[in-house]
Amino acid sequence: MWIVNHAADRVVLVNGSLLPLLAPLLPHLPTVEHVVVTGPGDRSLLDGAAPRVHEYEELIAGRPTAYDWPELDERTAAAMCYTSGTTGDPKGVVYSHRSIYLHSMQVNMTESMGLTDKDTSLVVVPQFHVNAWGLPHATFMSGINMLMPDRFLQPAPLAEMIEREKPTHAAAVPTIWQGLLAEVTAHPRDLSSMRQVTIGGAACPPSLMEAYDRLGVRLCHAWGMTETSPLGTMAHPPHGLTAEEEWPYRVTQGRFPAGVEARLVGPGGEHLPWDGESAGELEVRGTWIAGAYYNGVDGEPLRPEDKFSADGWLKTGDVGVISPDGYLTLTDRAKDVIKSGGEWISSVELENALMAHPAVAEAAVVAVPDEKWGERPLATVVLKEGATADYETLRAFLADEGGIAKWQLPERWAIVPAVPKTSVGKFDKKVIRRQYAEGELDVTQL
Ligand code: ADP
């Protein structure tokens, strides 16, 4: 509702299965003039709705199949998406015909997803998440088959679909691959048709990559944002390395393609070297990188200072290092970093180390207020079905196996039935922080 009103949408295309969700919202969407419905679903839910309701099939019936395309300036707006709102209100990004075209070419290049007309790409990503990561356009451009799971995003139907349809490529956020792994561990399926999987949207735990390696499926880590169309980096190791030598490259977020320029900026605004050690905020610019937000953010201007530098680079809000050979390693989102006694603790590093424990299915770490240190980490852990582990053991595992420094080890712990997720399947740390503040979590302090 927030997004439709902010974008002032006039037409909504909706699948009939979603009418129970849309119908109660319509009275609160004053700009919507038309609703176009496709697929099965109870139309009577829209009775009395103010906007005009159309059947998609009726709208297109009898129309000529050829269309006299207008000559548009390539820089005019072609599509919009909103950020998924992981850290605050969603922000609107407009893509031009030009940016989509150039981005699609990059997606299909060998050093990105390397798709050809011999591939079938399983797009698990929902359409509203960065234009389904640009894949509908990229696959169309190269005549690649595209598979979409509709509402059946749960691990069991996904596993069945992969075994049956044999996609060669797939794209989804890490939580989808975590869920699928648990499913195929319990009920083995053949996933080996997928020669390559693009995983991004949130940091991929290295333990997840290892587990899929054992299933013969290679996960390739990618970083991007709604503001970057989204392709920003992909983690293909340099040529000619052994599997062991490739590993340190595969667990990075990857390298920037030619169309994306990047720099790291320190707290004082200084530009940092690509030495693999100097950590700063990542800034990017390029032909498919947004230069402003649609209608601003929370009534602020289109290019708020905390989102764009004075010279026009996008401030990503992501913190990390870049190696001399150009590989980006993100340590955290600036808003999720735990600021403890003047030092920074990476929530992602703690999560990755925890998720490598055999009893842990998922783990999310957030900053919580602490009288002495300002902030300290709270570890919330989901155990695998039937598994047990006590907090002392997990803490010792972080130090001994995860290599986490003693002062960074969490003292606050909670076992939870599930990590709350955003609409696109990312860990929703806003919700965990609120649950903690309101005393909803059963926290043990060691
Ligand atoms: P939101 O900012 O609301 O989550 P997006 O879906 O556009 O909206 O997410 C972009 C953000 O997702 C990035 O700024 C980054 O923090 C995170 N992200 C995307 N890919 C990765 C990755 N491979 N590793 C770590 N973080 C990632």
Testing ligand 1's pocket by substitution, the residue of 86, 127, 293 carrying the most ligand atoms inside 8 A of its CB is: 86
Cα(4)–Cα(82) distance, rounded to whole angstroms?
Answer: 10
Q: What is the dihedral of CA 265, 270, 274, 277, to 10 degrees?
A: -80
Extract long-range pairs of 69-78: CB within 8 Å, 24+ residues apart. 72/97, 74/98, 74/101
- Ligand 1 nearest atom to the CA of residue 91, by list position: 3
| Interatomic CA distance for residues 30 and 33, integer angstroms | 8
For residue 199, the ligand 1 atom closest to its alpha carbon is: 23
CB 328 within 8 A of CB 221: no
The four Cα atoms 226, 139, 173, 286 give a dihedral, to 10 degrees, of -30
Given the residues 91, 168, 198, 227, the one annotated as active site:
227
pLDDT of amino acid 241? 98
The two structure tokens encoding residue 418: 């599930």
The encoded tokens of residue 171 equal 């794209």
Q: Identify the pLDDT of residue 323.
A: 98
Q: Is 57 a catalytic residue?
A: no
233 is catalytic: no
Predicted local distance difference test score (pLDDT) of residue 326: 98
Distance (Å, whole) CA 137 – CA 428: 29
How far apart, in Å, are the Cα atoms of 93 and each of 90, 281, 315, 428?
10, 21, 14, 21
Please give the distance, rounded to the nearest whole angstrom, from the Cα atom of residue 403 to the centre of ligand 1: 25
3-state helix, strand, coil in the chain (%, to 5): 30, 25, 45
Q: Using a 6 Å CB cutoff, which residues line ligand 1?
A: 83-87, 200-203, 221-226, 253, 316-318, 330, 333, 424, 426
> What is the distance of C-alpha 413 from the center of its chain?
26
Which atom from ligand 1 is nearest to the alpha carbon of 424?
6
Q: What CATH architecture applies to the domain 77-333? A: 3-Layer(aba) Sandwich (3.40)
CA distance 326 to 254: 8
Token pair 């390029």 is found at: 286
**Amino acid at position 217, single letter:** V
- Written as six digits, the tokens of 170 are 């797939």
> How is residue 114 annotated by DSSP?
-
CATH superfamily of 338-445: ANL, C-terminal domain (3.30.300.30)
Angle of CA points 424, 429, 431, to nearest 5°: 90
- Residue 423: CB atoms within 10 A of its CB come to 13
Question: What residue spans define the domains of the chain?
Answer: 2-60, 77-333, 338-445
Report pLDDT for 273: 98
Ligand 1 atom nearest to CA at 232:
20
Task: Out of 318, 355, 430, give the residue to mutate to test ligand 1, the one with the largest number of ligand atoms within 8 Å of its CB.
Answer: 318
Helix (H, G, I), strand (E, B) or coil at 81: strand
pLDDT value of residue 298: 66
Cα-to-centroid distance, 318 and ligand 1 (Å): 8
pLDDT (0 to 100) of residue 287: 96
Query: Ligand 1 mean position to 88 CA, how many Å?
Result: 13
> Given 83, 139, 233, 316, which residue is catalytic?
83
Residues 425, 429, 430, 433, Cα dihedral to 10°: 150
Nearest to 307 by CA among 131, 91, 2: 91
Active site residue 339: yes
What's the CA gap between 365 and 375, in Å, rounded?
12
Given the CA of residue 348, which atom of ligand 1 is nearest to it?
A: 25
Pairing of strands 34-38, 360-370: unpaired
DSSP H/E element including 145: strand 145-147
| pLDDT < 50: residue spans in the chain | none
Contacts 24+ apart (CB under 8 A), 17-24: 17/41, 17/151, 19/43, 19/45, 19/46, 20/45, 23/49
Report H helices in 291-438: 347-355, 391-400, 429-437
344 is catalytic: yes
**Bridge partners, residue 320, by sequence:** 280, 330
Residue 18 token pair: 């979603």
Residue 29 gets which letter from DSSP? -
Look up residue 208 and give its two tokens: 């997840």
Q: Which of 327, 316, 309, 347 is nearest to 432 (CA)?
A: 347
**223, 293, 332: residue to mutate for ligand 1 pocket, most atoms within 8 A of CB:** 223
> Annotated catalytic residue: which of 87, 166, 274, 344?
344
Beta strands (DSSP E) in 148-277 are: 169-172, 196-199, 219-224, 231-234, 254-255, 260-265
Q: SS3 for 28?
A: helix
